[in-house]
Amino acid sequence: MCGIFGYTGKKKAVPILLQGIKTLEYRGYDSAGIFVSGCAPVRAVGEVKNVEGAGGLTKCVGKAGIAHTRWATHGVPSLRNTHPHTDCEESLYIVHNGIVENYKELRERLENSGHSFKSDTDTEVLAHLVEDAFQKETNLHRALVRALKDVRGTYGIALMHKDFAREIVVARMGSPIVLGIGKGEQFVASDPSAIIRHTDTMLYLEDGETAVLSPGGYKIFSSGNKTLNRKPEKVDSDIGEIQKEGFEHFMLKEIMEAKDVFDATTRGRLDLKEGVAHLGGIKDVEEKLQNMKRLVIVGCGSAYYAGMVGKYMIEEHAGVPVDVEIASEYRYRAAPDQKDTVVLAISQSGETADTLACIKEAKRKGLLTLGIVNVVGSTIARESAAGVYNHAGPEVSVASTKAFISQLIVLVLLTLYLGRQRRMGIGEGRAIIDELMKLPSKIQRIFDGRDAIELVANKYVLNRDFLYVGRKYNFALAYEGALKLKEVSYIHAEGYGAGEMKHGPLAMIDKDFPTFAISPKDSVYEKNISNIEEIRARSGKVIALGTEGDMLLASLATDVIYVPKTIEMLSPILNVIPLQLFGYYMSVARGLNVDRPRNLAKAVTVE
């Protein structure tokens, strides 16, 4: 997490740097800081806007600098822990994204040799290590390379020294670093979206690589410190300015983009005649996918829950056995995967550290790796052998909404692709596509009824606990619905398989512990109805999410939210929208920071 931005060139650096880290605020918003050559560093707790105008920054005319927006790992969000960090002499400044795992022993060693620390962060050891290394080296780059030899962990680093006013030295290990190559000016950032307004010519650093930026150019070095001649690449300039466009919050705007996301994710990919999906990004591995005997889907948070839905789709319609694993578990488990197993990572950002580690682990075992990734050119997209882009557009709000919907749609496309390679007949493929194409108008019907969802949310705003239950295709949605509620409204919510209620959770049910029951008219409808009866018999309130026209549900539940009918496999795509809206309205009613929930960040680039 944490966002890094650096600039060296002909223009006043301050506004460019502030704008840069504002774009990166999705990575963390605990505190922000900036160092520009010739000026004193400025730091502030909270969002980037708190740095603007602080500490005489408006008067600073320096033309090179580095900036940082923090998601706290080591040390509370406070001024003393805000980047940039510095050495004893306050002559060098460093911003860092990642974790120095051996920082305790390094700090002890440095303190014993006379260094005094000003923060509780792991990052500060880097500043002192470079300070020491600089005594033995002739330039800042060599000093950083020498210092990093002692470091274990992950880092994206940008470093400046007062005496080399126009030079920025950068390094990457496990945390993304991209360089922006301009005319007479260079940029560095954690993510291309912060650079694209200045240049679309970029260069991604690989793990172990370092670079030196100056207004006139850049040099990159291999992990063995040899000069590299890698050419920059043109990055898709679609990652433009992101606005709320009249919506009060990004979360609502992004939920309401579901139909556009549907169009963008399916564009040019559906073939109704052949009953199949065309996915250009996996064409080259077609034969390997034909021979695949097992699929392992890995992801974190909402992406993991999307994978759980995908398992039901792919197993039922393509006949491929699928395991879904939380990425932070899979990466450390000695999974005895056979060569005909394929590992599929699902990730909106394409930067989630645990998910990325799974791809690396799978590659090490010689397995074919795939990605379903939203951010074009992100690390997971580049590390996977093949994959499918979501094309959902930038997602700003921390809680994933439109990206989740898009992930489900890509999983439908993948099911069609894998299914038609196997047992799925043309008729079945066509029927799925036919139903899929009806979703946008059904999504609109849900949007038309969103005021009713807000009313239901307002009724429950004082409740402190919630249970979400579902079965089969909507089993994972129980978890996703609960996740939406807890992350944006801070209300305790648990997801559960409805069939598991009797094995424990039912004990918690009373009149103050409501249950959100996802119970569309599908093959497990009657089972769900029985579970709702059991909750009602114990005075539990039930908000039921059901299929339009289901009067039985209305007579049983305390409140009902209706969703248009579709086929079972596609029902999560519709059902998740009211769950997202419910979480959103709860957060608004409780007066919380919807788009930036406390303690969280959008891209989780540390373990």
What residue ranges bind ligand G6P (CB under 6 A)? 300-303, 347-349, 352, 355, 398-400, 600, 602-604
Cα separation of 515 and 509, whole Å? 8
Nearer to ligand G6P by Cβ, of 36 and 581: the residue is 581
Q: How far is the CB of 112 from ligand G6P (least distance, A)?
A: 38
Nearer to ligand G6P by Cβ, of 199 and 347: the residue is 347
Q: DSSP assignment, residue 100?
A: B
Active-site annotation holder among 472, 484, 486, 602: 602
Nearer to ligand G6P by Cβ, of 1 and 94: the residue is 1
Q: How far is the CB of 397 from ligand G6P (least distance, A)?
A: 9
Please choose, from the candidates 68, 71, 59, 79, the residue with its C-alpha nearest in 3D space to the C-alpha of residue 18.
68
Q: How far is the CB of 395 from ligand G6P (least distance, A)?
A: 8
What amino acid is encoded at 169 in this protein? V
Known active-site residue 339 = no
Concatenating the DSSP letter of every residue in 340-394 gives TEEEEEEESSS--HHHHHHHHHHHHTT-EEEEEESSTT-HHHHHSSEEEE-----
Known active-site residue 602 = yes
In 152-300, alpha helices (H): 250-255, 258-266, 286-290
The three-point CA angle 148-603-477 to 5° equals 145
Residue nearest to ligand G6P (CB): 301
* Whether 64 contacts 167, CB under 8 Å: yes
Q: How far is the CB of 353 from ligand G6P (least distance, A)?
A: 9
Find all residues with CB under 8 Å of 361, minimum gap 6, and list them: 330, 331
Q: How far is the CB of 480 from ligand G6P (least distance, A)?
A: 9
Q: How far is the CB of 403 from ligand G6P (least distance, A)?
A: 7
Please choose, from the candidates 380, 334, 333, the residue with its C-alpha nearest in 3D space to the C-alpha of residue 360.
380
Nearer to ligand G6P by Cβ, of 314 and 601: the residue is 601
Nearer to ligand G6P by Cβ, of 506 and 601: the residue is 601
Please choose, from the candidates 191, 164, 165, the residue with its C-alpha nearest in 3D space to the C-alpha of residue 179.
191
Q: How far is the CB of 374 from ligand G6P (least distance, A)?
A: 8
Kind of pairing between the strands at 492-497 and 92-97: unpaired
Evaluate the omega torsion of the peptide bond into residue 514 and state whether it is cis, within 30 degrees of 0: no
Nearer to ligand G6P by Cβ, of 592 and 600: the residue is 600
Active-site annotation holder among 2, 60, 300, 358: 2
Please choose, from the candidates 286, 329, 583, the residue with its C-alpha nearest in 3D space to the C-alpha of residue 450.
583
Kind of pairing between the strands at 386-389 and 270-271: unpaired
Cα separation of 372 and 386, whole Å? 9
Nearer to ligand G6P by Cβ, of 86 and 355: the residue is 355
Catalytic positions, written as ranges: 2, 602
